Amino acid sequence: MAHYENDFTHMLSSSLGEDPELVAQLQTAFLDAVGTQIDLMSRSRCDGNWYVSAERLCGIAASFSAEGLLDLGRKASAGAPGDPVIVRELREWLAEFTR
């Protein structure tokens, strides 16, 4: 989580104070929610499911001030449903975040 973790942890800490257990729980919830939406997008077989997942991803990203993820969510919303390039970029973002 190198660079992303520092920004993310700083944002959570500044909002919540120095409660490492709460920060860890929110990080876990964030990662689970992002992973779920990426999985749903990768398995999406219709436009509606793709767009709903992309918009949910944007909402999650905005809630946690994850600018890079928000940009990718917007790209997915504007792009072609089922675009494997976008799914790959989302997976790469998540992998980079969790390092």
Residue 45 lies in a domain: yes
Residue 50 lies in a domain: yes
Look at residues 63, 51, 60 and name the one whose alpha carbon lies nearest to residue 94. Answer: 60
Q: State yes or no: pLDDT of 67 exceeds 70.
A: yes
Q: How many domains does the chain have?
A: 1
CA 15 to mean position of chain CA atoms: 19
Do the Cβ atoms of 42 and 87 come closer than 8 Å?
Answer: yes
Residue 6 lies in a domain: no
Residue 15 lies in a domain: no
Query: What is the per-residue pLDDT across 4-47, written as a single tens digit (0 to 9) for each?
Result: 545 666 666 676 677 788 888 888 999 999 999 999 999 998 99
**Residue 45, domain extent:** 26-97
Q: State yes or no: pLDDT of 2 exceeds 70.
A: no
Confidence at 84, pLDDT banded by 50, 70, 90: very high
Residue 82 lies in a domain: yes
Q: What percent of the chain has pLDDT over 90?
A: 64
Residue 60 lies in a domain: yes
Residue 34 lies in a domain: yes
Residue 55 lies in a domain: yes
